[in-house]
Structure 1
Amino acid sequence: MIRILITGGSGFIGTNLVDHFAVLGHTVINLDDNVPKKKEHQVYWRNVDLLNAQAVKQIVKEFSPTHVVHLAARTDLNGKQLGDYKVNTLGTNNLLEALDEIQTVQRAIFASSMLVCRPGYIPTGELDFAATTIYGQSKKEMELLIRKKNLLYDWLIIRPTSMWGPWFETPYKDFFDRVLAKKMFNIRNRSCTKTYGFILNGVVQIEKLLFAKQVEDKVYYIGDAPPLNIFNWTNDIATALGYKKPPSFPYYIFKMAALSGDMLQTIGINFPMTSFRLKNMTTNNILPLDNLYKITGASTYSLEEAIQITLNWIKNNK
């Protein structure tokens, strides 16, 4: 019997992954200190904080998973020091120690982040890091921690790209909401292209990595090919809604808005545009997916299907 332990199963990726494995008929539990987004997921939920080493060991021993997907993490960029992200490091270590005490695990997947490298930087190898945020540094430390362990089961690391779709939150839920509200504007002559990932394609990719007979590499980016031009994507969403294409404005207007957002952020007020977000919007970030696609094959859902599924979810979850 396949028994899958998912940490962070109450989050965006985790909610979709719990759904996916439950539909496949696998036995699943979700270790998370947050209540599931879906009421139907209460049956899979175990209220466990990964920083509580004893509680983690107890539930891992009781469940004795055959497969593990470790998603639990602090993922925002608001931390001031590495210790603010201790769930990403100490929490991972507690899970690794718990898994060391059982003999049932066949393969484990550990979720890192594409932000172990700054946007626009393409790593030359699995140990090439270029993090510029404290969050990214914490994920780098997590990856190195896993590699230092003499794990007795197959393992690999995934780095989700910019994921979007049902159950998403900031920033891409905000992006769709602005298009829906006709408040999305393109930056004139500043188009960029990025690797994005539709979440339902992503969960299939994770499933295939979890059960593949052999995985040669230790790091896989999760995402869709080809990459998307963000302004074309905006226009595609507008077209699906029956809207006109959003208008374009000069870059300096966005720059002024970003500076205002930076100032508001210092006093705890969120604003849809900051310098960090503007840089992300105008920096190409095409990530390597070749090794992923050798195992998973082409994406399950097309861009048009993914947009429609997402718009339907938003409509049904207002």
Structure 2
Amino acid sequence: MARIIVTGGSGFIGTNLVEYFCSKNHEVINFDIKEPKNRQFIKNWIKGDVLNKDQVLSCFTEFNPEYVVHLAARTDLDENKSIAGYAANTDGVQNIIDIINTFPNIKRTIYASSRMVCKIDYIPENFDDYCPPNLYGESKVIGEKKVKAYANHDYVLVRPTSIWGPYFEIPYRTFFDTVRKGLFFLPKGNYPKKSFGFVLNTVFQLEKILFEPKENLELTYYLTDYPPLDLKEWADMVSNEFGIKKTRELPMPILKIVSKAGDLLQKIGWQNPPLTTFRLNNLITNMVYDTKSLEKLCGKLPYSLDEGVSMTASWLKKN
């Protein structure tokens, strides 16, 4: 049994992680500004903001954790004015670093970054090669650099890729909901490979990274399932779960028109149109990451793609 603080434990990955660690009989605290999505774990929740250093210190002092998984962040892509809008991802990370530096009993900390430290079509030469596509990505680059510069403790950086599953929100809940309504279309003849991750496999990977001896670990990992999935195969699986025989396809010129309309709707205030040029580009671009070190560490993942889709569809039908 271990004492674990999960910051951001009321978010998507955090909700699944808190539930998983509790099922393993660990002592778990969810430090988050928001209430848990799963009310069963309200007893594990301490309300707090990573931007409030006194609140963070109070939680750490009272609980005296052995391990920390830092997931707390602003994760939307809506900010387009100033990096200050993502202070949780920069100043919040610095607060966590400063406090953990003063707790020598903490055995390991996992800091969650994002695949968006590089744009989708950019292949970095190494983990210090950055090319963020937006302010959110820039904020995550700053967070990574702060960890590397100031963390005087045992840590691992993780970059979740495109993670999906129970308790998810935008954009992949939108994808499942759009498929469910029969409104999802793939570009005809365009079936890219994607490094996506089912959240319960992600949770399994985080557990491995948290407790593995240091000598067996890399400094940074992309979190994703392996091998990469075929987007059409995945979409067909999701369609089948909702009684739709297969994914519909449209010619690219039509999808480009729809995506431009989505851009316009976004500009006039619709925050989540079904398709924008940003999403269309993500849809048609291969996104494959090197998972050799992750596979060596974690081995076979507990859930297949088919099982993940079935569990997610079942959760959606109930929620």
User: Same fold by TM-score, threshold 0.5 exceeded?
Assistant: yes
Aligned-partner SS, 2:31: strand
| Separation of aligned partners in 1, 2:123 and 2:135 | 19
2:137 maps to what in 1? 136
2:206 matched to 1:238?
Answer: no
- 1:247 CA displacement: 2.2
1:10 maps to what in 2? 10
1:269 maps to what in 2? 270
1:305 maps to what in 2? 307
- Provide Cα deviations, 1:91-147, integer angstroms capped at 9, x if missing partner: 111111121222210000000000001102222211111112110010000000001
| Separation of aligned partners in 2, 1:278 and 1:52 | 38
2:140 matched to 1:125?
Answer: no
- Alignment TM-score, normalising by the size of structure 1: 0.97
Aligned length: 316
- Alignment TM-score, normalising by the size of structure 2: 0.96
2:148 matched to 1:147?
Answer: yes
| Separation of aligned partners in 2, 1:275 and 1:180 | 22
Which one-letter code corresponds to 1:226 in the other structure? P
2:195 maps to what in 1? 195
- 1:240 CA displacement: 3.5
- 1:21 CA displacement: 0.2
- 1:222 CA displacement: 0.6
Q: 1:283 aligns with which of 281, 285, 288?
A: 285
| Separation of aligned partners in 2, 1:210 and 1:154 | 10
Structure 1 segment 112-261 matched on structure 2, within 5 A: 112-151=113-152, 153-214=153-214, 215-261=216-262
- 1:189 CA displacement: 2.2
| Separation of aligned partners in 2, 1:14 and 1:143 | 19
Aligned-partner SS, 2:5: strand
| Separation of aligned partners in 1, 2:145 and 2:88 | 15
Say if 2:101 and 2:151, in contact at 8 Å, map to a contact too.
Answer: no
- 1:150 CA displacement: 4.5
| Separation of aligned partners in 2, 1:65 and 1:269 | 42
Which one-letter code corresponds to 2:208 in the other structure? K
Structure 1 segment 50-61 matched on structure 2, within 5 A: 50-61=50-61
Which one-letter code corresponds to 1:288 in the other structure? D
Structure 1 regions of 5+ residues with no counterpart? none
Question: Which deviates the most, 301-310 or 174-183?
Answer: 174-183
Which one-letter code corresponds to 2:52 in the other structure? N
- 1:187 CA displacement: 1.1
Which one-letter code corresponds to 2:95 in the other structure? N
Which one-letter code corresponds to 1:302 in the other structure? S
Say if 1:195 and 1:224, in contact at 8 Å, map to a contact too.
Answer: yes
- 1:10 CA displacement: 0.2
| Separation of aligned partners in 1, 2:242 and 2:132 | 37
- 1:311 CA displacement: 1.0
| Separation of aligned partners in 2, 1:313 and 1:292 | 28
Deviation above 3 Å: which 4+ runs of structure 1? none
Question: Which deviates the most, 125-134 or 67-76?
Answer: 125-134
2:63 matched to 1:63?
Answer: yes
| Separation of aligned partners in 2, 1:297 and 1:16 | 20
| Separation of aligned partners in 2, 1:34 and 1:235 | 35
Say if 1:50 and 1:87, in contact at 8 Å, map to a contact too.
Answer: yes
Which one-letter code corresponds to 2:150 in the other structure? K
| Separation of aligned partners in 1, 2:177 and 2:285 | 22
2:107 maps to what in 1? 106
| Separation of aligned partners in 2, 1:150 and 1:110 | 11
Which one-letter code corresponds to 2:276 in the other structure? T
Which one-letter code corresponds to 1:77 in the other structure? L
Structure 2 regions of 5+ residues with no counterpart? none
Which one-letter code corresponds to 1:213 in the other structure? P
Which one-letter code corresponds to 1:52 in the other structure? N
- 1:246 CA displacement: 2.5
| Separation of aligned partners in 2, 1:75 and 1:238 | 27
| Separation of aligned partners in 2, 1:315 and 1:82 | 37
| Separation of aligned partners in 1, 2:275 and 2:151 | 44
Which one-letter code corresponds to 2:195 in the other structure? T
Aligned-partner SS, 1:92: helix
